[in-house]
Structure 1
Amino acid sequence: MNYIAHLHIADITETSYAGSLLGDFKWQIDPSHLALYKGWQLHQAVDTFVDAHPITERFKGLPRAGRRRFAGIIQDIVMDYWLVCYWERFSTDSFELFSHRVVASLGQDKHLCPERLQKMISSLEERNWLAGLGTKEGVERAIRSIQKRWSLGRFLDPFIGELDLLIEQAKQPFLLLYPEVLENACAAAAALDTGQVKK
């Protein structure tokens, strides 16, 4: 799952939006920031569930250009595309209302975040681009953003050449997987509240 999915999970579990993103950024874990720490823990639990799911394994194994070992990165990004497209299935709030709420909350916690996440939050405050992740152009921008900061980014080039195929391949996996992700995330958040998840 990528940014929008993690933010949506934070929304429905009433956990920290900033914390929900910290799993994708270098962050020195500080359990004294309890809200952020719980969000970080939940992010890890969600990613572990998704990475080990049979639907994810099947998606990685579909015929396409690009190496199987990098397909999980693409899956995360394209799942956000379908979440925006099917937003009304999973939220009673409009995406616009959700995204404004998210950015306002992220702004309040920005000073607690690592520098790169602070820069991302600032860019969202300047121009809320979350809805753009639900477009083919937004998917490509997200992939190219990863390429710029990752030493193995060149290996994502073949995926960019097959975006139409990748997006279509991810539709049914998303529709099957995301309801399970939400159910698991709610259970994980409840377990964190009762101290049943290892820290």
Structure 2
Amino acid sequence: MNFLAHLHIAQHNNSSFLGNLLGDFVKGNPLGQFNADIVQGIRLHRFVDSYTDQHELVKLAKPLFSRELRRYAPIALDMFWDHCLARYWQQFHDLSLARFCRQAELQVESESARETNTLPPRFSRVSTLIWQQKWLESYAEIENIGYGLERMALRSPRMAPLAFTGEALVAHYDRLTEIFFQLYPDILDKTAGYISKQ
């Protein structure tokens, strides 16, 4: 799951929006680095990532990528799940996607203002771009997912093959969409169970 799904899951579980966004930017044990609500959000983000990566449905999706690209499949799939959520948003939320994103932006700003510890600089840069460039709304178009993967591929030579994973997403679009509609409701269900145990 990528940014949009993590925010949707955060709201679904009354969890910290900021914490669930921070999950990709904080290393190690977050306890003591941030307030308790944000720590719980970071842990929820990590649970979602771990549960998704190990899910049997995701294991079925990985072979749809060529052997050379398979190691990059989890990144491409995370982006694709956000595409499906954005495209079929009204099946999962009463608000429009644009309105949800605006509320999420305000919530993240509010939580950031209350947090006394310093947020990771990279998170602050990326968060600004998410809202200014309307990344989450743009996920509804599959072409933007391909563009996002190509951008990520530029980060290092090791990541270069990621640029070609968008082609696999398009080639297997219908099958991957079917998998999403089985996968995402299960994740929503499992996160509710995770939160209740905290």
Q: TM-score, normalised by structure 2?
A: 0.87
For residues 18-65 of structure 1, the C-alpha deviation after alignment (integer angstroms, 9 at most, x for no partner) is: 111222124464424111110110011111111111100000012547
Q: Which runs of 5+ in 2 are unaligned?
A: none
CA contact (8 A) 2:65 2:168 kept: no
- Call closer, same or farther: CA 1:118–1:63 in 2, change over 3 Å: closer
Match of 1:165 in 2: 171
Distance in 2 (CA, whole Å) between partners of 1:26 and 1:120 is 13
Corresponding position: 1:54 with 2:56 = yes
Identity across the alignment (%): 26
1:17 touches 1:39 (CA, 8 Å); kept in 2? yes
Gaps of 5+ in 1: 193-199
Change (3 A) 1:160 1:125: closer
Change (3 A) 1:141 1:117: farther
How far apart are the structure 2 equivalents of 1:60 and 1:19?
Answer: 28
Answering whether residue 11 of structure 2 is matched by residue 11 of structure 1, we say yes
Residue 135 of structure 2 is aligned with which of 125, 129, 133?
129
Q: CA deviation at 1:119?
A: 0.8
Instruction: Answer with 35-44 or 110-119: which moved more.
Output: 110-119
Aligned pair count?
192
Does residue 1:93 correspond to 2:81, yes or no? no
Give per-residue Cα distances to partners, 1:115-162, cap 9 Å, x unaligned: 111012222343433110111232023212322334521121321344
Given the superposition, is the C-alpha separation of residues 108 and 29 from structure 1 closer, same or farther in structure 2, using an over 3 Å criterion? farther
1:195 matched residue in structure 2? none
Corresponding position: 1:84 with 2:86: yes
**Residues in 2 aligned to 1:80 and 1:35: alpha-carbon distance in whole angstroms:** 24
CA distance, structure 2, for counterparts of residue 4 and residue 109 of structure 1: 17
TM-score normalised to the size of structure 1?
0.87
Q: Compare 97-106 and 124-133 and name the one that shifted more.
A: 124-133
What code does the residue aligned with 1:52 have? Q
